[in-house]
């Protein structure tokens, strides 16, 4: 009887020690798993944001193309080749300006491109959309947990500034927020072509969602003032570099 009580006591102690060390170990393993899943989802989200829409070849506007051809002819007549001309549009992966929204404490560089690497360090210009001053849809993307984390604070009527580095000078474009909406993840209206110039800012939504957020938070702005690309070409005397994605 005494041995049975001792045996039961030892068994009870083993169970207690098992519970004492088992629960923390389980919590530790669960924590590691959550961190791993979270990191994977973040990287997947970054890649998804950079490839959210089908790729489009970039083509300059008709007016820009005409000016480009004229500039090339002038260069050839002067003994210069088109490659010698000053290119005002940035290369893919090149920083070419910054976006400023005071109410949301947004003042970040803009990179031409929206790859995972680029979106981790700057606001990305959707490669295939127009550039400021080109009379079309200028599309910028940013992460909801970093550069565009305060995009939800922006209200209609507020001012948005885009300082674009074109050629020798920096040209400022002022926009005004006209619409704020939430759309489904694959809503291609975000990148749709427009007759008039507009600036479209978007990020994933909800802002506090863990993993690959299912929707997009979109801020649409109309152009208030800024120098048209055609005028910049005449001033700079260079050609626009035609790009494809």
**Which active-site residues does the annotation give?**
143, 204
CA–CA separation, 190 and 139 (whole Å): 8
**How many CB atoms are located within 10 Å of the residue 184 CB?**
10
Phi, psi of 219 (to 5 degrees): -115, 120
Q: Token pair of 98, please?
A: 């910054």
Reduce the DSSP state of residue 162 to 3 states and report it: strand
CA–CA separation, 20 and 1 (whole Å): 28
What element of type H or E holds 4? helix 2-50
HSE value, Cβ hemisphere, 13 Å, CA-based, for 157: 0
HSE value, Cβ hemisphere, 13 Å, CA-based, for 80: 14
CA–CA separation, 68 and 89 (whole Å): 12
Give the C-alpha distances (Å, rounded to integers) separating 197 from 26, 86, 182, 210, 223. 56, 24, 21, 34, 6
Burial 93-106 (b: 16+ CB within 10 A, else e): eebbbbbbbeebeb
CA–CA separation, 209 and 149 (whole Å): 12
């Amino acid at each position: 009887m005494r041995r049975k009580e001792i045996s039961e006591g030892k068994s009870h102690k083993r169970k207690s020690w098992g519970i004492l060390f088992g629960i923390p170990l389980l919590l530790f393993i669960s924590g590691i798993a959550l961190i791993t899943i979270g990191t994977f989802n973040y990287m997947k989200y970054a890649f998804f944001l950079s490839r959210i829409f089908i790729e489009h070849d970039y083509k300059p506007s008709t007016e820009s193309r005409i000016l480009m051809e004229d500039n090339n002819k002038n260069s050839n007549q002067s003994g210069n080749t088109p490659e010698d001309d000053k290119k005002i549009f940035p290369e893919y992966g090149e920083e070419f300006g910054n976006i400023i929204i005071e109410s949301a404490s947004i003042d970040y560089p803009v990179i031409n491109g929206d790859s995972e690497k680029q979106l981790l360090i700057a606001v990305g210009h959707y490669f295939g959309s127009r550039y400021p001053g080109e009379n079309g849809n200028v599309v910028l993307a940013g992460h909801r947990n970093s550069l565009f984390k305060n995009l939800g604070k922006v209200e209609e009527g507020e001012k948005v500034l885009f300082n674009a580095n074109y050629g020798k000078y920096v040209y400022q474009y002022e926009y005004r927020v006209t619409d704020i909406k939430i759309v489904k993840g694959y809503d291609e209206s975000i990148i749709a072509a427009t007759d008039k110039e507009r600036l479209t800012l978007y990020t994933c939504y909800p802002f506090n969602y863990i993993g690959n957020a299912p929707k997009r938070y979109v801020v649409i702005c109309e152009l208030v003032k800024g120098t048209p690309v055609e005028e910049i070409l005449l001033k700079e005397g260079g050609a626009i570099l035609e790009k494809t994605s």
